[in-house]
A and B are shown apart, each in its own frame.
Chain A
Amino acid sequence: MQARSQHHDRPQPGRRRRTVKEHGPDPADVHVGSRLRLARGLLGLSQVQVAQSLGVSFQAVQKYERGEIRVSASRLLQASRLLGQPLEFFFEGLDAPSPSEGDQGEFVRAELELLRAFRALPDAELQRQILRLVRSMGRVTGNT
């Protein structure tokens, strides 16, 4: 169990974890944070008041609003009830990135579908043939 946990924590080649220190806050977190700040402002509540109601420190609210720490789903739900705004308010104006803009190390939808279809093949021999076919296609295009 411990070995498994260590495996998960180990940085994967090409899948380096994004950090606020190195890369700055994630734009989506910055957006949600600024919407949180706006929702708070519309009610005239201070960071301290919101922090007390959410059960966090006011420094945490400061960091949520700057996008320096990510607001968890449960906390966002709590905030939406507190501030009287629907959940979608916090994402209004946020454009979802296209797969080409996404992290190169992440699986894109097509890869997941391919894997699902591959696993659904009826026998191992067919899977081997498909694998050979994909590899040979990769060699032809020079990508393997």
Chain B
Amino acid sequence: MATTAERPCVDLVTLASFERQIGFERVADAYLEMASRCDGCHCRSPFHCGTAAAAQAKNAASVRVVAFRRRPSLTARAGEPAGSTGGGSLVPMALERERVEDSSGNWVERVNRPVSTLRPAHVHGSVELLFEYWHSLWLISHGTLSDIDPIRFGQLGWLGRLHLVDVSDPDPRQFRFQIRGARIPAVNGASREGAPLGDHPLPIIADIVTRDYDRVRREQEPLYSHVRGSLAGGSYRYDRLILPLSTGGKQVDRLLVAIKMQEGDTARA
């Protein structure tokens, strides 16, 4: 069995990180304290250690699970009712394709797709579900960070697959990961939490990431992309959704970056 020091509960640590950024220090400390006692089944994480959570839920009063009413969505096209699946119909797209290569044989190709191509869906872990949650926050408070409920990330299947990026610096090369998705493999296996993105060891990554993040900050619009490429001889492929957030409810100074890896590939944000 892995010891606590070797493998604390990833979900509790991620929840703690979000709670701290949102301003709930005591809640963050409590999660971390539980994570420090994690032995794989008694840490009380609601998402990772299912046995303990199920036992707790059994002791609690019955909770009615609420069906969410779908808001008028950005995904609805003009003249089409929100919530329509539009199965199989052609979606007008303004695809932007960009391929970047370097002299070492590394290459990355991004195909940016309008968020209107995201159809309403209820699939656990889908990009669409995350987008809808973000959209509801955007309508209410311009994506104010303190309004985020990290538990929703867990419910939607996104805990650990999200980066929170500080884009408050005017220089994009100084953007930093405040939270780096624990379930997203990093290049060379190293987490770059807190380090300026411009200092990434692979210049091709630094260039692409900072450009895309800066675009979302400036335009205050989500960016949805299919990304594939080859880095250091390994191929990878993933979907990426970049969502603007703010700390004060006005200026976009944080981004939520969701990475959905394609099966069999490793993502390198």
Partners in one complex: yes
Could you say which of A31, A49, A65, A93 contacts B63, with CB atoms under 8 Å apart?
Answer: A49
B27 touches A42 (CB 8 A): no
Residues of A within 8 A of B149 (CB): 46-47
A residues with CB within 8 A of B = 31, 34-35, 37-38, 40-49, 52-53, 62, 65-66, 81-84, 93
A44 touches B24 (CB 8 A): no
Q: A46-B149, A84-B56 are in contact. Are A41 and B31 (CB under 8 A)?
A: yes
Across chains A and B, the number of contacting residue pairs, with CB separation under 8 Å, is 69
Residues of A within 8 A of B40 (CB): none
Secondary structure type dominating chain B contacts: helix
Q: List the 9 closest pairs (A to B, CB-CB), nearest first.
A: A44-B46, A84-B60, A52-B66, A34-B26, A84-B59, A81-B61, A38-B27, A47-B149, A82-B61
Chain B's interface size range is: 20 to 34
**What's the least CB distance linking B149 to chain A, in Å?**
5
- B121 interface residue, CB < 8 Å from A? no
Q: A84-B56, A84-B59 are in contact. Are A49 and B66 (CB under 8 A)?
A: yes
Q: A31-B26, A34-B26, A37-B27 are in contact. Are A42 and B68 (CB under 8 A)?
A: no
Give the interface segment out of B83-91, B102-110, B150-158, B208-216.
B150-158
B56 touches A62 (CB 8 A): no
Instruction: Using CB atoms, name the residue of chain A closest to B11.
Output: A44
Instruction: Using CB atoms, name the residue of chain A closest to B57.
Output: A43
State A52–B24 Cα separation when bound (angstroms): 23
Residues of B within 8 A of A48 (CB): 66, 68
